[in-house]
Structure 1
Amino acid sequence: MDTQTPKAKASKGSVKIKVSNNRLQLVFSCGGKRHYLSLGLSDSQTHRKLAEMKVRAIELDIVSDNFDQTLEKYKPQFTRSSITPITPTPPNLPSLDHLWEQYVEFKRPSVSPNYLAKELGTAERVINNQLPTRSLEDAVQIRDWVVAHKPANAAKRLITQLSSCCDWATKSNLIEVNPFSGMAKELKLPKNGKKQQIDPFTQQERNQIIQAFTANQYYGHYGPFVSFLFKTGCRPSEAIALQWKHIAPDFQLIIFEQSAIDTEYGLKMRKGLKTQERRQFPCNTSLRDLLITHQPSDCEPELLVFPSPGGKLIDFHNFRNRAWKTILGNLKEIRYRKPYQTRHTFITLALENGLDAKDVAGLVGNSPEIIYKHYAGTKRELVVPEF
């Protein structure tokens, strides 16, 4: 199992000694690029002293702007010798969890916090806690385990991530061959497999759900939030991040321009939306009444419109698993659907009540093609009808 020195935030020019498969490795950043230099030395007291000499040489060159980007200057002499080489013993492959740790650090500056927490974080938990082996020599066994234990979509995503990691590792000269290459393409998804099934509630079911939330002793706090989701069709992450400064003083217009996302450090607000920077949503009478009634007397612009009971961002996963499942579970006459169907319900009812598909697309932040393909069969001032 790989070990390493305790993590600490490195200063500019700082070089760390790490151990991978009992081999010493130097890790550092220079010029915005992450470097991994294998010394080809086993982890011993004598070799540690040699590694520390390399550390001091590299740090000195970095701060004096004499750093050799090719790394040739810092490689052990025996790796640059011109003597006739003997056939080397194949080196031990680094373990998958060790490669993944380096891959995440490489990706960190270029991906969103949400992607880090959800996509990469989910894969990391499987690698560290669930896989039967983390040896790259057992790539086929890893693939077979993933296929047997994960849903088809999740399995394909995970194998794709592992392959991307090993592609990066080959380009970084950490391994010679990507053992997961081509595996994801061989995994066939069910033809009817959809990421998000469109299964809207009826208008009567919508009204029952809103009423049930409003009247509930424990979850009545979420009544306005649920009603807002049904009346706007916005993504839950957009409603969670909404502040009173985004609502016009006369309650005629809402500006959606930020969303709540999961990160490694918890829920955070991010500027911009999933498919656009911002969009406007005109309020009809019922939506205006909801906002007027819901606005607190001591309202401040920065306050959340729909805070959690503790005054923070709503944890949507917690809301879905507790409040939503409880309320829908009590409504025996309504078939259970996930809370994201509030968005599909708005779109479906808007189309049924005469709004053009292009206008609905503008209201909810989708493309007209998506609306036509999944919901429906001239630019003008939009008015949301009562429904």
Structure 2
Amino acid sequence: MKTPKGTIAIENNDNRIRLRWSCESKRYCLALGLPHTSVNMKVAEQKARQIELDILSGNFDPTLNKYRIKQVAVIASPEVVKPSQELLLPIWDKWVESLCLPTRTLCSHYARIRRYIEKADPLATDASWYEAVESLSPSIWNSSLIYLVSCLNWAISEKIISDNPFSKLKRRKVLKNQVKPFNHEEVRAIVNAFRNNLYCPKSSAYKHSFYADYIEFLFLTGVRPSEAIGLQRQHVDFTRNEIVISSVLARGDQGQTASKHRVRKETKTGSIRFLTMTARLTEMLAIRCRNLNPEDLVFTSPNGNAIDDKNFTTRQWKVVLAGLGIEYRKPYTTRHTLASMALEANMPITSVAYLLGHSDTTMIMQTYGHVINRPSLPDFS
């Protein structure tokens, strides 16, 4: 179906029909909410034709309300108003379909929340099942509630239901986790243990020392593990003496950590930052980058693939910390360590925010406020 700017595509999306097209340099997606059948395909073709004519005649409705399939509502008598019997799961599926999200996004929060709904199989007017969920942390419970509220608000706008029970639920109190970075002695002990294969089981196929540079790099730069895992030779500029952090090797759509599933994408905040190398970083990376091609990874697993951070944590990181008698903290704590040490050394907050890839100092103040300008108790003695 041709339009002045392209084609109206009629697609089968999980056995549901949707339309995609462009108009005035903007992309549109309309989920018709109809099963993919031969009869409904004719309805879709009529809708596509209607949109085409409206575009050509200048009567196109960019809100798309004009082109949605109208649901026939059964109006109860004023004396007897029947409660809605709409199930939540079909409404959730229609709402998610209307968002036209990429597969990677669908497989994250949306898929997880759908599993909760599918297990409870509640009516759309019933929020008690979610209120009773105790297996989720307060932060995840709150974030999932935001999605459910949005879904039901959409259902109200579509006149599927008349009330949003989830909007009445109170958010759960989230206890802020105290950031506990490693101290200088612990950092030295950890790096030394990796370099010298301390606490490495004799049966281990790969020695701790293989990951020594990777661990020291995390401590020295404060980058996210996914940023270090994704660092390529072309991101290390010895002429300008800087490291460019512009992308990551993120986990797969289902959270897989293996190399074949990892996806290269922009950094978490979408920013690009340039880190000036210290003498130690220059020395270490000069050796690692020797004979590497521009797109080769700087840090790899022993078999030359991207580092599997889950395997690394289980087989290397936990073993070393346990051997040293150091309280367990995730490898991500190397990032907190760099930030805390920089603040304790009186580095400006704006500079620390830049090193960590934040656009402003809000996150720094929230996370490391206890380190910044901490007053001493008055000495009344």
TM-score of Structure 1 vs Structure 2, range by shorter chain: 0.7 to 0.9
- Selected match of 1:101 from 87, 93, 96: 93
What is the match of residue 158 of structure 1?
144
Deviation, 1:293, is: 2.7
Choose the corresponding residue for 2:272, options 278, 288, 296: 278
Aligned-partner Cα distance in 2 for 1:291–1:97: 52
Q: Relative to structure 1, is the Cα distance of residues 277 and 329 closer, same or farther in structure 2, using a 3 angstrom cutoff?
A: same
Tell me the residue number matched to 1:238.
Answer: 227
Q: 1:14 is aligned with what amino acid?
A: I
Name the residue aligned to 1:221: 210
Is residue 142 of structure 1 aligned with residue 130 of structure 2? yes
Written as runs of structure 1 = structure 2, the 5 A alignment for 1:199-210 is 199-210=180-191
Partners of 2:331 and 2:91 lie apart in 1 by 37
In the alignment, is the contact (CA less than 8 A) between 1:170 and 1:176 conserved in 2?
yes
- Residue 258 of structure 1 is aligned with which of 233, 242, 247? 247
2:301 aligned partner = 308
Counterpart contact for 2:244–2:272, Cα < 8 Å: yes
- Alpha carbons of 1:99 and 1:30: their partners in 2 closer, same or farther (altered >3 Å)? farther
The correspondence for 1:344, drawn from 329, 336, 342, is 336
For 1:326, what is the secondary structure of its paired residue? helix
CA contact (8 A) 1:239 1:259 kept: yes
Alpha-carbon distance, 1:71 to partner: 5.4
The normalised TM-score by structure 1 is: 0.72
CA deviations on 1:98-134 (whole Å, 9 max, x unpaired) are 233333333344x895x54443343234334xx4333
Q: 8 Å contact 2:229–2:249 — kept in the other structure?
A: yes
Q: Could you say which residue in structure 1 is the equivalent of 2:110? A: 120
Counterpart CA distance in 2 for 1:18 and 1:270 is: 26
Superimposed CA distance per residue, residues 176-220 of structure 1 (whole angstroms, 9 cap, x where no aligned partner): 32221131xx13314xx12x5310111111122223233245344
Q: Find the aligned partners of 1:157 and 1:254 in 2 and give their Cα distance.
A: 35
Q: Any idea what SS the aligned residue of 1:138 has?
A: coil
1:233 Cα offset (Å): 0.9
Q: Distance in 2 between matches of 1:356 and 1:75?
A: 58
Change (3 A) 1:197 1:162: same
1:169-184 alignment, distance < 5 Å: 169-183=155-169
Which moves more between the two structures, 285-294 or 259-268?
A: 259-268
Is the 2:223–2:356 Cα contact (8 Å) retained in structure 1? yes
Deviations 1:151-179 (A, max 9, x none): 22221222222111111222233333222
Cα offsets for 1:286-343 (capped at 9, x unmatched): 2222212322x43111111123344443343443344322332333x21111111101
Q: 1:132 to 1:267 in 2, by over 3 A?
A: same
What is the CA–CA distance in structure 2 between the aligned matches of 1:341 and 1:98, rounded to whole Å?
41
Compared with structure 1, are the counterparts of its residues 321 and 165 closer, same or farther at alpha carbon in structure 2 (3 Å cutoff)?
farther
Q: 1:70-119 CA deviation, whole Å, 9 max, x = no partner? A: 5589769xx59xxx98749969644333233333333344x895x54443
Checking the alignment, whether the CA contact within 8 Å between 1:108 and 1:116 is kept in structure 2 is: no
SS in 2 for 1:270: strand
Q: CA 1:250 to 1:92, structure 2 compared with 1: closer, same or farther past 3 Å?
A: same
The code of the aligned residue for 2:284 comes to L
Measured in 2, the distance between the counterparts of 1:368 and 1:171 equals 38
Residue 269 (str. 1) matches residue 239 (str. 2): no
Does the C-alpha gap of structure 1 residues 85 and 158 become closer, same or farther in structure 2, counting only changes over 3 Å?
A: closer
**Secondary structure of the equivalent of 2:369?**
helix
Q: How many residues align?
A: 336
Residues in 1 aligned to 2:75 and 2:245: alpha-carbon distance in whole angstroms: 65
3-state secondary structure, aligned to 2:120: coil
* Cα root mean square deviation, aligned: 3.8
Match of 2:356 in 1: 364
Task: Provide the residue aligned with 1:35 in structure 2.
Answer: 31
Could you tell me how far apart the structure 1 residues matched to 2:303 and 2:54 are? 51
Segment of structure 1 superposing worse, 316-325 or 286-295: 316-325
Identity of aligned residues (%): 28
Would the aligned equivalents of 2:231 and 2:297 in 1 still touch at CA under 8 Å? yes
Amino acid at match of 1:160: I
Return the offset for 1:18. Answer: 9.0
Q: Which residue of 2 aligns with 1:323?
A: 316
Deviates more, 1:319-328 or 1:200-209: 319-328
Alignment partner for residue 286 of structure 2, among 274, 288, 292? 292
> Which one-letter code corresponds to 1:179 in the other structure?
P
